[in-house]
Structure 1
């Protein structure tokens, strides 16, 4: 489960609400998103907290907005909005000190209603990757979710082959399993969607797989963990399909899951 720190400016109450909804959406998807507006009942040294969260995060999501762009590029008086100015300065420092590491980790995100001009210049809004979130659904945030989950839409095909034989041509039928497509299919299986039957399903998996699956209170996040863990074990997705067949038989939702796994050649 990737951990992310959400860095944003307090442009307006509407913007802050949108950011909170976005961070909540990420957590529903199984992303451990950290936000300044959560669990802040105790007195906190905000700069020390931000430094600690950025260091612990797998990714820092910078939410584009007019205020963040101004503060990030130093075009506002130093006495205004000191918090976001400090966060932006910290990001510039981290990028300057170790650009290779932090360029990969700092992701500019444009929420619905935003635009590229809300990304500060030091994050290269027009000459480097950025992530549009069209709405708070897996499809609307697919590009970002794939990046956070290490799940490329078009993985590189394998190199080489047997001498004298033509290189294999990969078709849609041999494409790797796309995590979010598989999760959507799994959630249509009653044995997966229902908590009690999902526990029974897990009991049918190999112990090493079952014990490696992180639990999550939210159904979709838990199913994401199940899919990713099974994918990481040789034959794990095949085991998952066989467990589904044992519980559900040859139902249409199970057929769809089996089709996705077989298409990827990972049925074991």
Structure 2
């Protein structure tokens, strides 16, 4: 744009542009799109390039306009320029160092270009940083750096390159060379994998919560199998646990549904119990009571539930036992088990919970006892990831 053809205008009106859109969101150009070319006059050679560019656009149906087609507009250059920008479907802003400097370098501001760039800024501001009207273009790859700051986020075109010109042309026509295909139907949702939950556990949560298991005692009698007494706070609730087990037992044996496991030292070096006063700083062992996994799987399969189609749910309980004053009860129990090959468990409780555990202060009734053959003794460092009793090595949440 010739600087000597217009006067700098300090104030401007807000300009609103109305553009129609297709359903796909593109600008609808059924007729010849109107284009205004905004540039900075550098020299006669550059002016010829602008004219050649405008002529080519017009030869291919683009209603391009540029000040070179006008000699003396009756409304004056500022008003003519504003009208051209307002009425154009697109404004092509030709990036050059001269254009850039006249916008941003104080002592080289060109009045015409400054007026145009004010409209560019105002348009983007009014449209909340969205822009479909002003398109940056350049003839030389080096001029890409001179694209005006508010136009840098938007698509630009090297119009000296045939591919760039071609892309711009179809952009002005509102036609994408790569057509977006119509939406197909969504795939149907895959059939939900149905799995059957098989619950198997010797632990009745309500009864065990009421009973309040708090430890184990050992009873050794010459010539008799060893006995583990499960010490409960509430004897009546503890007794019901064993009554139910006896009803489900096989001739008094409960190996089909109960597993007892001792988890003994040494434990993993990083196990929480070594720094836990409630676990006697690791001086002791865990007793874990839970379901017989193998027997539970067999029962699940007998019910027609395939392992790959079913989920086995179970509940277990465990108790930490301190070993103080050189206690050898655990070792003696292990030796006796080897001798007899079986043992008995039964409910016990204190008659008076305010008094110490002594033979006279214990409720003991062998009629409620049940027998087992199977028992496991596992070192803490040998517990595997999938072992049901691995939970004892994890610090309780509360």
TM-score range, shorter chain: 0.5 to 0.7
1:170-217 residue CA offsets vs partner (Å, 9 max, x unmatched): xxxxxxxxxxxxxxxxxxxxxxxxxxxxxxxxxxxxxxxxxxxxxxxx
Q: Which runs of 4+ in 1 moved over 4 A?
A: none
Q: What CA distance in whole angstroms lies between the structure 2 residues aligned with 1:39 and 1:86?
A: 18
1:235-261 residue CA offsets vs partner (Å, 9 max, x unmatched): xxxxxxxxxxxxxxxxxxxxxxxxxxx
Q: Residue 51 of structure 1 is aligned with which of 82, 85, 92?
A: 82
1:117-156 equivalences in 2 (<5 Å): 117-124=145-152, 127-135=153-161, 139=163, 141-156=165-180
Q: 1:2 to 1:87 in 2, by over 3 A?
A: same
Q: 1:29 to 1:163 in 2, by over 3 A?
A: same
- Who is 2:45 aligned against? 14
Q: 1:114 to 1:57 in 2, by over 3 A?
A: farther
Tell me if the contact between 1:47 and 1:87 (Cα under 8 Å) persists in the aligned partners: no
Q: What CA distance in whole angstroms lies between the structure 1 residues aligned with 2:41 and 2:71?
A: 16
Deviation for aligned residue 1:143: 0.8
Q: What CA distance in whole angstroms lies between the structure 2 residues aligned with 1:67 and 1:118?
A: 9
Q: What CA distance in whole angstroms lies between the structure 2 residues aligned with 1:14 and 1:77?
A: 24
Q: What CA distance in whole angstroms lies between the structure 1 residues aligned with 2:111 and 2:60?
A: 32
The number of aligned residues is 157
Q: What CA distance in whole angstroms lies between the structure 2 residues aligned with 1:26 and 1:119?
A: 21
Tell me if the contact between 2:157 and 2:164 (Cα under 8 Å) persists in the aligned partners: no
Q: What CA distance in whole angstroms lies between the structure 2 residues aligned with 1:128 and 1:84?
A: 20
**Which structure's relative contact order is higher, taking Cα pairs within 8 Å and 6+ residues apart?**
1
Q: What CA distance in whole angstroms lies between the structure 2 residues aligned with 1:109 and 1:87?
A: 15
1:173-184 equivalences in 2 (<5 Å): none
SS, match of residue 141 in structure 1: helix
Query: Does residue 28 of structure 1 match 2:59?
Result: yes
Q: 1:16 to 1:99 in 2, by over 3 A?
A: farther
Q: Residue 105 of structure 2 is aligned with which of 55, 60, 75?
A: 75
Q: Residue 122 of structure 2 is aligned with which of 87, 93, 100?
A: 93
1:14-34 residue CA offsets vs partner (Å, 9 max, x unmatched): 211111110111001100001
1:119-141 residue CA offsets vs partner (Å, 9 max, x unmatched): 111211xx431111135x6x551
- Who is 1:61 aligned against? 92
Q: What CA distance in whole angstroms lies between the structure 1 residues aligned with 2:186 and 2:111?
A: 61
Q: Residue 108 of structure 1 is aligned with which of 136, 154, 163?
A: 136
TM-score (norm 1): 0.53
Query: What runs of 5+ residues in structure 2 fail to find an aligned partner?
Result: 1-31, 189-398
Q: What CA distance in whole angstroms lies between the structure 2 residues aligned with 1:86 and 1:6?
A: 14
Query: What runs of 5+ residues in structure 1 fail to find an aligned partner?
Result: 165-268
SS, match of residue 107 in structure 1: strand
Q: What CA distance in whole angstroms lies between the structure 2 residues aligned with 1:12 and 1:76?
A: 21
From the CA coordinates, give the structure whose radius of gyration is larger: 2
TM-score (norm 2): 0.37
Determine which structure has the larger helix proportion and give its number: 1
SS, match of residue 112 in structure 2: helix
Determine which structure has the larger strand proportion and give its number: 2
